[in-house]
Amino acid sequence: MPQPVTYRGMSLIVPDNDTEWKEFYEHARAHRLVVRTCTACGLMRYPALHACPWCMDLGWSWREVSGKGTIYSYEVVHHAIQPGFKDITPYAVVLVELDEQRGTPTADEGLRIIGNLVRHDFSPEAEDKVAIGKRVQVVFQDLAEHMALPQFILSGEPDQGRVWRLGG
Amino acid sequence: MGYNSRMANLKDKYCIVGVGETEFSKNSKRTTRAMAVEAVRKAILDAGLEASDVDGMLSYQNGDSTFAPFVAPDLGIRLNFYMDVVGGGSSTEALIGLAMGAIEAGMCKTVALFRSMNGYTEFRIGGTGARSAAPVRGPDLAQVPFGMRSAGQNFAPTFMRHMYEYGTTSEQVAHVKAAHSRHAGNNPKAFEKHRVTVQDVINSRWIVKPLHLLDCCLETDNATCLIVTSADRAKDMKQRPAYIMGVAGRVSKPRVDFHWAHGPISRVAGYYAKDIVFGQAGITPDDVDVTGSYDAFTFTTMLQLEEYGFCKKGEGGHYVSSGIIELGGKRPNNTSGGHLCEGYTHGMAMVVENVRQLRGTIDDTCPGAAEGRHTYDYSPGKCRQVKDAEITMNLGWAMPATGSSLIMRRG
């Protein structure tokens, strides 16, 4: 079993038998964002479910996605719970809808993934830059030889749909 | 969907006949076992029963409490059926349904159902302390490494998206806290009795946007208990029974693990639960006199009321800020003050409150309260009994993707 990775005071544990996360992080460490795709119906899912939620098939393979997407929702943490986050408040957690498979298989579904909205040095992006509708791009924060976290930066592309953020 | 024909045969066949709770505090100075024993004992006595009358026990917890096999023997109760389940909010209604099923199956006759928690002094329900330092593995890896661990952090994107889609405002949902604080002021056992205004909520510091401090519930130490039995047995008991008309337990969205993947995330589990519970009860939201919509956060109350059809989808902000949910309004919500003000019990106290509403003997300061004589003067420190409350509904919440509900009527 690989050694637990310590990040912001947290112990991140990925046992050898946890193949979904082990391989996901190995790809992430090579700076590839991958998701499982069903070998029967072709639909992708995140995080790595063990069967296809649409056709129940057990077959899957990893597929690399672009890492481009739009902020679907977000929050800004002012009062951190985890001790290791107290020195970086306020920080934004973003729910990103990836470009691949948007509105599929139903209009309300999509490949969505959670990360922090960060600057290039992985410090939190300024709070007033965070908004629903902003375009983002995945970046990888290397934590160990076998692990990197997917994070997101503003890509500067034109906004997607209506842009909105909570004032105050 | 067929819920009517298949399940309505249990409508009005089971009752809640006893309720009990400990003090709501931030310093219980005792174990969850000691508190559970007190709450169960009080509920048994409230029902006018003896230990030998109770032969079933259910509890729920998250690795933070005692178990039925330690509580029953303390009271001299020999059990024919017991189960302790992992669960938090929305477990109350689900376990009431399980209690009905256990009795219906002939496994036992009368069930005591408890939740005991040192939610402030031992396992902080907000996630600080020992829980914040737990190792991160499995499904948690999809969110916890990004500083998203507490209940508020887990729910905030759902609330934010509702504001985006429907124009819901901080001011609108702040009315939930303001209303519940007025209710708590008329509840002698509430932990937080002072009234707050909408502006107080808006001016309180940010915890995780869009949640201010006063949008978040309390963290308290307490135990609560309900006694469920058949309507046949309830007829001869001490209290006016609260008849169970319908129950939906742990109804979920298509994905619970990473529920953001599916559907509009502003849709919560009540969307799927409403047909079950209203189908069994054979009523509509218009027939409900009092609601107990789980208030882990102000937004939670609002989201569930609109999902169950008390207003149109997207109009929850207007509904909760219109005065309807206040004592004296058309359909008061959480007349005890709820988790925002009375104390945090993982949902059970909201059912306890509605049982008392249906009995007409809410424990306010009215001189004849215990005999059902109330003034219906809802000014500070006075009455909180809803006049002629016939039907109550509890809207239990675990998270956006999971919820339970319960409809009761007075006996």
Q: What is the pLDDT of residues B320-349, one digit of tens each?
A: 999 999 999 999 999 999 999 999 999 999
**Residue A45 · residue A69 · CB < 8 Å:** no
Q: Which residues of B14-28 are buried (b: 16+ CB within 10 A; e: fewer)?
A: bbbbbbbbbebbeeb
Tell me the chain A residues in contact with residue B264 when contact means C-beta distances shorter than 8 Å. 108
pLDDT digits (tens, 9 = 90+) for B267-277: 999 999 999 99
Range A79-100 average pLDDT:
96
Interface test with B, best of A16, A82, A98, A140 (most B CBs within 10 A): A82
CB within 8 Å: A93 and B148 = yes
Residue with the two structure tokens 């067929």? B2
- Reduced to 3 states (helix: H, G, I; strand: E, B; else coil), residue A84 is helix
* A79: contact with B, CB 8 A cutoff: yes
Tell me if chain A has a CB within 8 Å of the CB of B85.
no
Within 8 A of A18 by CB-CB distance, chain B residues are 137-138
Residue of B nearest to A123 (CA): B146
Residue B126 pLDDT level (bands cut at 50, 70, 90): confident
Asked whether the beta carbons of B242 and B121 are under 8 A apart, the reply is no
Taking CA B71 as the corner, what is the angle to CA B67 and CA B76, rounded to the nearest 5 degrees? 145
- Mean pLDDT, range B158-171, rounded to an integer: 98
Task: Indicate which residues of B carry an active-site annotation.
Answer: 294, 344
Chain B: nearest CA to A94, how far in angstroms?
8
pLDDT digits (tens, 9 = 90+) for B231-284: 999 999 999 999 999 999 999 999 999 999 988 999 999 999 999 999 999 999
Residues B147 and A123 sit within 8 Å (Cβ to Cβ) = no
| Per-position DSSP letters for B298-333, written without gaps between them | HHHHHHHHHHTTSS-TT-HHHHHTTTTTSTTSSS-B
Structure tokens at B275: 């047909």
- What's residue B263's pLDDT? 81
Element of type H or E holding B97: helix B91-104
- Whether A168 shows a pLDDT value over 80: the answer reads no
Residue B229: both structure tokens together: 């039995």
Q: How many Cα neighbours within 13 Å face the side chain of B312? A: 3
Does position B11 have pLDDT exceeding 60, yes or no? yes
3-state secondary structure of B139: helix
Q: Are B215 and B201 in contact (CB under 8 A)?
A: yes
- Asked if pLDDT for residue B8 goes beyond 90, the answer is no
- Amino acid letter, residue B188: P
Residue B19 pLDDT > 60, yes or no?
yes
Q: Between A77, A106, A164, which is nearest B147 by CB? A: A77
Residue pair B221/B39 in contact by the 8 Å Cβ criterion: no
Q: Does B262 touch chain A (CB under 8 A)?
A: yes
- A37 and chain B in contact, CB less than 8 A: no
Strand blocks (E) in B186-273:
206-209, 211-212, 221-230, 242-252
A&B contacts, CB < 8 Å: 143
**pLDDT at residue B3 greater than cutoff 80:** no
Q: Do A166 and B149 touch (CB under 8 A)?
A: no
Which residues of chain B have a CB within 8 Å of the CB of A12? 135-137, 141, 145
Report which DSSP code applies to A75: E
Cα gap B287→B289, rounded to integer Å: 6
* Residue B93, pLDDT above cutoff 70: yes
B130 touching A (Cβ < 8 Å): no
Point out which residues pair with A62 in neighbouring strands: A36
Interface subset of A 39-58, CB within 8 angstroms of B: 45-47, 53
Tokens of A20: 């979904």
* pLDDT at position B373: 96
Q: Please tell me if residue A77 touches chain B, with a CB cutoff of 8 Å.
A: yes
Of A73, A108, A110, the CB nearest to B157: A73
Judge: A82–B263 Cβ closer than 8 Å, yes or no: no
Q: What is the C-alpha to C-alpha distance for residues B83 and B326, in angstroms, rounded to an integer?
A: 37
Distances (CA, A) of B120 to A61, A122, B36, B151, B193: 46, 34, 16, 15, 18
| Confidence tier at A1 by pLDDT (50, 70, 90) | low
SS3 state of residue A33:
strand
CA B280 to chain centroid, in Å, comes to: 20
Q: Which amino acid is at A133?
A: G
**Which residue of A8, A35, A75 to mutate against B (max B Cβ within 10 Å)?**
A75
Is B264 within 8 Å of A75 when comparing Cβ atoms?
Answer: no
Q: What percent of chain A has pLDDT over 90?
A: 92
Q: Which of B263, B295, B265, B216 is nearest to A94 (CA)?
A: B265
Q: What pLDDT is attached to residue A102?
A: 95
Give the CA radius of gyration of chain A: 17
pTM over 0.80: yes
Work out the pLDDT band at B1, boundaries 50, 70, 90: very low
